[in-house]
Amino acid sequence: MQLWLIPLIPLIGFAINGIFGHRAPKRFVNFVAVGSVAISFALVLKAIFALWPLETGYVEQGFTWMQSGDLRIGMDLAIDRLTSIMLLVVTGVGLLIHTYAIGYMQHEEGYARFFSYLNLFMFFMLILVLAANFPLLFVGWEGVGLCSYLLIGFYYERQYATTAGNKAFIVNRIGDMAFILAIFLIFAQFGTFDFAAVMEQAKGLSPETTFGAISLITLLLFIGATGKSAQLPLFVWLPDAMAGPTPVSALIHAATMVTAGIYMVARSATLYQLTPCVMELVAYVGLATAVFAAVIGIAQNDIKKVFAYSTVSQLGYMFLALGVGAFSAGIFHVMTHAFFKALLFMGAGSVIHAVSGEQDIWKMGGLRKKTPITFATLMIAGVAIAGVYPFAGFFSKDEILLAAHHHAPWMYWVGTATAAVTAFYVFRALFVTFFGSYRGEAHPHESPKSMTLPLIALALLSMGGGFLNVPHYLEPMFPLDHGAGHDMSLVLISLGAGLLGITFAYIFYVAKPELPAQIASSLGGVHRLVLNKFYVDEIYDFLFVKPLMKSSRSFFWPVMDVAVIDGAVNGVASQARAVGRVLRAWQSGSIRTYASWVVVGSVIILLIVSVAGGVR
Give the interface with another protein as residue ranges (CB under 8 A). 589, 591-592, 595-596, 599
CB of 534 or CB of 594, closer to another protein: 594
The CB-of-613 to another protein minimum distance in angstroms stands at 18
In angstroms, the Cα distances linking 78 to 128, 145, 280 are: 11, 22, 29
Q: Count of residues for the chain? A: 616
The CB-of-145 to another protein minimum distance in angstroms stands at 59
The CB-of-583 to another protein minimum distance in angstroms stands at 19
The CB-of-577 to another protein minimum distance in angstroms stands at 22
In angstroms, the Cα distances linking 19 to 13, 16, 22, 114 are: 10, 5, 8, 13
CB of 539 or CB of 606, closer to another protein: 606
CB of 23 or CB of 592, closer to another protein: 592
Evaluate whether 227 touches 171 at the Cβ level (below 8 Å).
yes
CB of 53 or CB of 614, closer to another protein: 614
User: Pairing state of beta strands 58-60 and 71-74?
Assistant: unpaired
Q: In degrees rounded to 5, what are phi and psi of residue 78?
A: -135, 150
Q: In degrees rounded to 5, what are phi and psi of residue 133?
A: -145, 165
The CB-of-586 to another protein minimum distance in angstroms stands at 16
CB of 569 or CB of 585, closer to another protein: 585
The CB-of-578 to another protein minimum distance in angstroms stands at 25
Residue 217: exposure state from Cβ atoms within 10 A (0-12, 13-18, ≥19):
buried
CB of 522 or CB of 610, closer to another protein: 610
Residue 134: exposure state from Cβ atoms within 10 A (0-12, 13-18, ≥19):
buried
Q: Give the contacts of 441 (CB within 8 A, at least 6 positions apart).
A: none
3-state helix, strand, coil in the chain (%, to 5): 75, 5, 20
CB of 68 or CB of 590, closer to another protein: 590
CB of 591 or CB of 608, closer to another protein: 591
The CB-of-579 to another protein minimum distance in angstroms stands at 24
The CB-of-615 to another protein minimum distance in angstroms stands at 16
CB of 211 or CB of 597, closer to another protein: 597
Please say whether the dihedral angle defined by the alpha carbons of residues 321, 302, 86 and 127, taken in this order, is positive or negative: negative
- Whether cis (ω within 30° of 0) applies to the bond prior to 390 is yes
Evaluate whether 48 touches 57 at the Cβ level (below 8 Å).
no
Q: What does the alpha-carbon distance between residue 270 and residue 59 come to, in Å, rounded to a whole number?
A: 18
CB of 69 or CB of 614, closer to another protein: 614
Evaluate whether 274 touches 207 at the Cβ level (below 8 Å).
yes
The CB-of-587 to another protein minimum distance in angstroms stands at 11
The CB-of-582 to another protein minimum distance in angstroms stands at 21
Identify the CA nearest to 52 among candidates 84, 23, 16, 14.
Answer: 84
CB of 599 or CB of 607, closer to another protein: 599
The CB-of-581 to another protein minimum distance in angstroms stands at 19
Q: Give the contacts of 219 (CB within 8 A, at least 6 positions apart).
A: 275, 278, 281
CB of 488 or CB of 611, closer to another protein: 611
The CB-of-609 to another protein minimum distance in angstroms stands at 15
Q: What does the alpha-carbon distance between residue 128 and residue 578 come to, in Å, rounded to a whole number?
A: 53
Q: What does the alpha-carbon distance between residue 317 and residue 360 come to, in Å, rounded to a whole number?
A: 27
Evaluate whether 286 touches 313 at the Cβ level (below 8 Å).
no
